[in-house]
Amino acid sequence: MSKKQFFLGIVLASLIGGLVALLGVSVLQEKNGNSSSYTQQQSASFVNWLNDDRFVIPDGINFVAAAQVVTPAVVHVRSSVSVAGRSGGVDPLEEFFGFRSPSPRGEQPPREGRSSGSGVIVSADGYIVTNNHVIENASKVDITLEDNRRYVAKVVGTDPTTDLALLKIEEKGLPHIPFGDSDEAKVGEWVLAVGNPYELNSTVTAGIISAKARNIRILRDENHLQIESFIQTDAAVNPGNSGGPLVNLSGEIIGINTAIASRTGGFSGYSFAVPSAIVKKVTEDLMEYGTVQRGLIGVSIQDVSPELEEREGIKIKASRGVYVAGVNEGSGGEEAGLKKGDVIIGIDGANTFTTSALQERVARKRPGDKVEIKFLRDGKEMTTTATLRNVSGDTKVVIREVPKREEFEGVVFEDVAAAVKNRLEIDGGASISIVENKAWKDAGFREGFIITKIGRTRINSAKDVVEALRKYKGEEVSILGVYPNGQRSYYDIQL
């Protein structure tokens, strides 16, 4: 065969191969139907997949649907807090009596500080859950919805021991999110954190549950009643996310984002949320009673560990559990027969191998409720039933007293709670809850200011304020008091 014949053979074979390929493509197009563009030929839609059954994703992983359900119910919470002003010199009144003057000598009146966080609407009529530290000591709480509607919220109640607070805005038909079951949430499960980090509204981040029943020792309570049994997740949470929801992929609340593990103040890999089992119970208590009902077994506890054995010089016949270090006299635990040295391993059928898990289970109960306790004594498993009691040692439900209010010419005064008086070390007083009087605003009065004295009249209640103001009507008078942050001030006003 000559070179010319060989070359013509190769060309002929190439032409035949090309014709066969074109014929094959034509046949496939006829079978699949005509398409006018490359995009229309794709078997998956990445833009509108929720309405396209051709888009296939793994079962249970549905970030888009969950985010769409949740974000309308997440709100931006902004709190106003009085911050001490700065002085340009020493005022004799401040030097001798500890009160700061708003006079033009260089002394500035208290500035209005702002804190920012998140919250989640849990009912159509405007109940909002957030963190206590987001609204603590606030004189005013502003709420902004995702659609930019704005409201002033009322603080229904707070619980510093779980760092939760319940707010209320006056509106109906609001988007809201149901509570899920944090007990059913599993380590490794996908979750979303939604909130307003760094003022970036409606931010959604995803992660997995890294651990449950974490105690990071961030909460403090003078009676040592703080409850830390956090859900740990690696969903990114930053300042401003506090109070926002942690949700499962069904769009249900399984936690309230509360804290981050960080050495810099920014997200470093882990965040922590109060589980919904506690959030739901606290919310129901605050709605019904205005305060949280805390049931107690009445025992002091520690985690079982080799360090505990070494420190106490004892040998515990258990590798894990909650060691009973003491039993309070007259407590439900004593009545149930618990003794020092017992190791609690379960409450109401649920394993409680750590103090945080035990505290979480008991925190769901109220005074008067009964719990079944599984424990080890000298290595032998036993059960008993304890009736929970409150801090006072009885089984009564505590109802928060609604503070009495009085109004005088557009200014509303409110009795001060005993806890606030104790913290500020004052004997009495009445706080300003609403200021709609121009003269009072111009004089420098702000919501939250606690009046302790008007002229020479000492103030112990809101009623005392109104009586004193009527007494001094038509006169210029000095009104002394203290802000929630402890700063003492006084104002002169013509009544």
| Residue positions annotated with a catalytic role | 133, 163, 242
| H or E, element range at 245 | strand 245-247
**Tokens at 405, concatenated:** 């209010």
CA-closest candidate to residue 213, choices 202, 223, 228, 224: 228
* Cβ pair 378, 318 in contact under 8 A: no
Contact predicate 304/314, CB 8 Å: no
Contact 296, 146 (CB under 8 A): no
Q: Which residues lie below 8 Å from residue 32, measured CB to CB, with a gap of 6+?
A: none
d(CA 16, CA 25): 15
Contacts of 389 (CB under 8 A, 6+ apart): 295, 296, 298, 331, 332, 367, 395
Give percent helix, percent strand, percent coil of the chain, each to the nearest 5. Answer: 25, 30, 45
The rounded distance, in Å, linking the Cα atoms of 335 and 296 is 12
Consult the annotation and say whether 241 binds a ligand: yes
Q: How far is C-alpha 146 from the geometric centre of its chain's CA atoms?
A: 18
Strand partners, 442: none
163 is in an annotated binding site: yes
- Give the Cα separation of 234 and 209 in Å (integer): 7
Q: How far apart are the first and last CA of the chain?
A: 122
CB atoms within 10 A of CB 69: 17
Q: What is the C-alpha to C-alpha distance for residues 61 and 64, in angstroms, rounded to an integer?
A: 9
* Three-state DSSP state, 214: strand
β-bridge mates for residue 81, sequence order: 113
Cα-based torsion angle of the residue sequence 173, 116, 167, 212 in order, rounded to the nearest 10 degrees:
100
Determine contact, residues 139/446, Cβ cutoff 8 Å.
yes
Contacts of 318 (CB under 8 A, 6+ apart): 304, 343, 345, 376, 379
**Is 242 among the annotated ligand-binding positions?**
yes
Q: What is the DSSP string of 321-387?
A: SEEEEEE-TTSHHHHTT--TT-EEEEETTEE--SHHHHHHHHHT--TT-EEEEEEEETTEEEEEEEE
**Residues within the annotated binding site for substrate?**
133, 163, 240-242
